[in-house]
Structure 1
Amino acid sequence: MITKQMLRDVGVSQETIDLLDAYPTAFRQIKTQLSKSPRETWLHWIKWRLIWIFGIYE
């Protein structure tokens, strides 16, 4: 199971984690995807998924 701490460990900001808490379905989809993916694809997938879902740009 992917936890909030694991997301922090791969570089997801607290603001983003708080935003995901506001959208539990998206968070659940991300956790499901992460649990199926090799670690090296996590950041790439999170980045593009968040851009798609929330329109977040750095």
Structure 2
Amino acid sequence: MAVYTLYDRRNNTGLRLDNHDGNGSTKYSGMDTTNYVSKVTACLNIQLNPDRCGPDDRPGDGR
């Protein structure tokens, strides 16, 4: 099973970052202080089944 994140940046939406490298590994989307990450959703990529995703992490989402 792999994990991924769906995320938006200030100037880009609908981005996806996959991590197939297993437990303890880290992936980075790059550093950009002007086009910062504004939304993050973590998901499990479950083969042949619907993926499970957590709540969006963004300001004002009610959490």
Give the TM-score taking structure 2 as reference length: 0.27
**Whose helix proportion is higher, 1 or 2?**
1
